A and B are shown apart, each in its own frame.
Chain A
Amino acid sequence: MVSLDLLINAIVAGILLGGFYAAVTVGITISFGMLDIANIAQPAFILLGSYAAYIITYYVPVDPLVVGFLMLPVFYVIGMAVYRLYYYSFELRGEQSIQGLAFFFGLLFVAEVSLVLVFGVDYRFVEAPYIGPSLHLGIIDLPLRMLIPCLVSLVMIAVLQLYLSRSFIGRAILAVSQDGLALQLMAASPTRIKQIAFGISVATCSLAGTFLIIIQPVEPSIGRDYIGRIFAICVLGGMTSFPGMVAAALLIGIVESITATFYGPSWAPAVAFGFLLITLAVRPAGLAGR
């Protein structure tokens, strides 16, 4: 018989995990879902965010989350620079499909090797007052190490959603995801808009990377673990929709957590990806796709 408190805690743990998954996927939803750029180097940028939090907190007694926020503009600039390089090297020449994929694949490995060379291969950690303690609300346990990244992640995505729906640039990003040519006819540069959007997608990695190193120790190759999962969540969410992506991330988190609790953790990825396949069979455009 399923115990009620186990079930509730499994759902809560799934939501917390899903909030983290949403943070690591939001950048891919922008770059892959909206801009059609298969940025498989996204996990490498997330790891850069983790190492930025590690190295700065190593020297300066500051909370890792503060570092994550402070590094947002730096990552935004890095993202814009990477897009410029990608644009001139591939997109401008119409070679973005296979060559572009190879470019980001290469970037992933270069970033990984660079981290090895600079930081070595040891596991790196950060310290923060919320790593270790838990909040106990009746029968529910909320490890702060999971709760805080989840809450900050949801706030970050809500702010991004507001920005996309209310600001001129945000609406232009949504427009370029639907019809770049039409945007050009409205006297807006799709390239400039895509550059800004790609910058935002990489900027989110600053916070996502900080969440990652708060949740678990990192070493340079750990980003690879997330490639499959973040693309799956993006597709399940409907590619371009933030609410859809958040719903997909929470669903995957909850499915993984319930499976791990009641049926065994080794089944969790299989059940989560099975859930993805069934959803896509019923609704090929994803949860919130059009």
Chain B
Amino acid sequence: MVGKMVRRIALAIAMLLSTGPVFAEAPSGSPIAIGFSMPLTGGLAVNGTSGLLAMQIWAEDTNKNGGLLGRPVKLIYYDDQTNPSLVPGIYTKLMDVDKVDLVISGYGTNIAAPAMPVVIQHNATFISLFALDINEEFKYPKYFSMLPVGPDPRPAITAGFFDIVKANKDKLGLKTIAIATGDGEATRNGTDGARVNIKKAGLDIVYDKTYPLTTTDFSPIIRAIQSTNADVVLISSYPNDSVGVIRSVNELGLKTKVFGGNLTGPQSTSIKTSLGPSLNGIITFDWWLPAPAMRFPGVMEFLKTYQARAGQEGVDPLGYYLGPWAYARMQVLGEAIENTKGLDQEKIAEYIRSHSFKTVVGDVAFGEKGEWKEARILTVQFQNIKGTSVDDFRDGKGEVVVGPDQYKAGDVILPYSSNNR
């Protein structure tokens, strides 16, 4: 641990001494510069740092294999501090001052969306990473999304959750639903989509409130939900508030039949290991897990490299949540550059639009508004978690894929209260 700290401090001093942006690879010859902002500090940094490591591994792999168009690849990135207001300035600098060849987004909806006006103004091709439906208003033809939510992203996030609700509606007598939503763009978008699913499922909404992301104590919210006796409770939350909600739910013994929905956070290893058995019974989404059906060519090799370096870099030790996706996005961009034999933004966008890509997260093809042609969201339930070590979650243990059918690794356990927490 001390050695790790010394290494981190040495790395930090080296970073502080450098006057400009941080270069992942020492430039040689005439590199292809790919620029982006990334939340390396602040609330989203827990995933941002994981995504950055994956992209650095891709750059190293690519350069080892001769680069792109025979030129080395260089990543130029700035910490946006999870602050959306810093993002437009960063992209202006990347494109006007640093003169990068291509830009891609940072991690998350709140960070990718503010870059869009600047990117559109520069007519650049743009692939986002885990941004939910940000092209709905812009309809920018050179936008592509590395998030498998399909052509109708907002309802897609909770579609699997409501498939379970519908399948158990009569058996469990599910009639009412309570919704609590964190006051952020991604969580609000997720809840907007959930309302479409709620209508289709024929549930009555008995509680529907948003809460500030600075909330310290969630017990008043959980008590208010409990007082409605809702059969289904849907939470749309960011990592820190997910922890607060889950702790309060367990402390107050919330009695409901189905609980979960759109909780971000339990996918991260540090949060999984801190909450342990109190996660049992929660149904939420995930994007990739090492279930047998998800082991696409190259992904386990990538994770082996990632996990070997994650400890030293101080990032998510397993890297399941974002790592493969950040790597796959770069594979798409790299293949498009290589096959168009140039850096023409129009040609690269056209290539991405019209081709299917073999990546570490499987086959990727883009459709309308730059979203994936087909949704491929995993619905997971935390089951039978007994401890709080990383090994309790390695190999996908404890987080069981319960849908869609082609990736299913187990059956859902309902009602929520029957899970041993």
Q: Which residues of A contact B (CB under 8 A)?
A: 3, 6, 9-10, 13-14, 16-17, 20, 58-59, 112-113, 116-125, 127, 131-134, 141, 143, 145-146, 215-217, 219-222, 225, 256-258, 260-262, 264-266, 268-269
Q: Given that A118-B9, A143-B219 are known contacts, is A125 also in contact with B274, CB under 8 Å in the complex?
A: yes
A120-B314, A134-B251, A143-B248 known; A221+B216 contact, CB < 8 A? no
Flag if B252 contacts A134 (CB, 8 Å): yes
| A-B contact sample (18 more), CB < 8 A, given A121-B42, A265-B215 | A9-B220, A10-B223, A59-B1, A117-B9, A117-B12, A120-B314, A120-B315, A121-B46, A122-B315, A123-B270, A146-B217, A216-B240, A216-B244, A221-B41, A221-B43, A261-B220, A265-B211, A268-B215
Provided the pairs A132-B278, A266-B183 are in contact, do residues A260 and B271 lie with their beta carbons within 8 angstroms?
Answer: no
Smallest distance from the beta carbon of A60 to chain B beta carbons, Å?
Answer: 12
Q: Give the CA-CA distance A256 to B212 in the complex, in Å.
A: 11
Task: Please name all residues of chain B whose beta carbon is closer than 8 Å to the beta carbon of A10 when the two chains form the complex.
Answer: 220, 223
Instruction: Among A59, A118, A262, point to the contact of B224 (Cβ < 8 A).
Output: A262
Bitwise, B1-43 to A at CB < 8 A (1) or not (0) is 1000100110010000000000000000000000000001111
Q: 13 A-B pairs, CB-CB below 8 angstroms?
A: A10-B220, A13-B220, A118-B9, A123-B271, A124-B270, A132-B247, A145-B251, A219-B240, A260-B215, A265-B209, A265-B212, A268-B211, A268-B215
Does chain A have a CB within 8 A of B210?
A: yes
Q: What is the minimal beta-carbon distance from B120 to any residue of chain A, in angstroms?
A: 30
Is chain A's binding surface mostly helix, strand, loop or mixed? helix
Shortest CB-to-CB span from B37 to chain A, Å, is 15
Bound CA span A258–B388, Å: 34
A145 to B239, CA, bound (A): 19
B221 touches A265 (CB 8 A): yes
Contacts of B253 in A (CB 8 A): 134
> By the criterion CB–CB under 8 Å, are A118 and B223 in contact?
no
Bound together, the chains give a CA A52 to CA B145 distance in angstroms of 41
**Do B224 and A266 touch across chains, with their CB atoms under 8 A apart?**
no
Report the Cα distance A216→B223, complex, angstroms.
18
Q: Determine whether the beta carbon of A122 is less than 8 Å from that of B314.
A: yes
Chain B residues positioned under 8 Å from A269 (CB to CB): 212, 214
Is the Cβ of A217 less than 8 Å from the Cβ of B224? no
**A225: contacting residue among B214, B248, B270, CB under 8 A:** B214
CB distance from B79 to the nearest CB of A (A): 9
Q: How far is the CA of A123 from the CA of B272 in the complex (A)?
A: 11
Report the Cα distance A116→B250, complex, angstroms: 31
B214 touches A122 (CB 8 A): no
Q: B209 to nearest A CB, angstroms?
A: 4
If A17-B217, A132-B247 touch, does A6 touch B46 (CB 8 Å cutoff)?
Answer: no
Q: What A residues does B243 contact at CB under 8 A?
A: 123, 216-217
Q: Which residues of B contact A (CB under 8 A)?
A: 1, 5, 8-9, 12, 40-43, 45-46, 48-49, 81-82, 180, 183, 209-212, 214-217, 219-221, 223-224, 227, 239-240, 243-244, 247-248, 250-253, 268, 270-271, 274, 278, 314-316, 388
In the A-B complex, the 9 residue pairs with the closest CB atoms: A121-B45, A120-B314, A265-B211, A117-B12, A260-B220, A143-B251, A125-B274, A261-B220, A264-B209
**Contact between A3 and B227, CB atoms less than 8 A apart:** yes
Q: How far is the CB of A178 from chain B (nearest CB, A)?
A: 34
A9 touches B223 (CB 8 A): yes
On chain A, the residues within 8 Å of B220 by CB distance are 9-10, 13-14, 256-258, 260-261, 265
Question: A125 to chain B: closest CB distance in Å?
Answer: 4
Known: A122-B316, A265-B210. A219 touches B46 (CB 8 A): yes
A18 to chain B, nearest CB (A): 10
Chain B: minimal CB distance from A51 (Å) = 12
Please judge, given known A-B contacts A118-B9, A145-B251, whether A6 and B81 are in contact too, CB under 8 Å: no
Q: If A222-B240, A261-B220 touch, does A123 touch B46 (CB 8 Å cutoff)?
A: yes
Q: Which residue from A6, A14, A118, A266 sits with its C-beta under 8 Å from B8?
A: A118
Q: Which residue in chain A gives the minimum CB-CB distance to B313?
A: A120
B251 with A133: CB separation less than 8 A: yes
Chain A contacts for B12, CB-based, 8 A: 117
B281 to chain A, nearest CB (A): 15
Q: How far is the CA of A261 from the CA of B183 in the complex (A)?
A: 17
**Cα–Cα, bound, A217→B241 (Å):** 9
Contact status A264-B210, CB under 8 Å: yes
Do A120 and B42 have beta carbons less than 8 Å apart? Answer: no
B270 touches A122 (CB 8 A): yes
On whether A117 and B8 interact (CB within 8 A), knowing A125-B274, A216-B240, A217-B240, the answer reads yes
Give A110 Cβ to nearest chain B Cβ, in Å. Answer: 11
What is the CA–CA distance of A69 and B124 in the complex, to the nearest angstrom?
56
Q: How far is the CB of A154 from chain B (nearest CB, A)?
A: 17
B5 surroundings in chain A (CB, below 8 A):
118
Report the nearest B residue to A10, measured CB to CB.
Answer: B220
Question: A260 — which chain B residues lie within 8 A by C-beta?
Answer: 211, 215, 220-221, 224
Closest B residue by C-beta to A131: B247
Cα–Cα distance between A258 and B220 once the two chains are bound (Å):
8
Contacts of B216 in A (CB 8 A): 17, 20, 215-216
Q: Which residues of A contact B388 (CB under 8 A)?
A: 127
With contacts A122-B46, A123-B271 taken as known, whether A132 is within 8 angstroms of B212 at the C-beta atoms is: no
Closest to B316 in A: A122
Docked complex Cα distance between A82 and B199 (Å): 58
* Given A143-B252, A146-B219, A221 and B212 contact (CB-CB distance below 8 Å): no
A122–B274 Cα distance when bound, in Å, is 12
Does A6 lie within 8 Å of B227, measured CB to CB? yes
Complex Cα gap A10–B220 (Å):
6
Q: With a CB–CB cut-off of 8 A, which chain B residues contact A217?
A: 240, 243, 271, 274
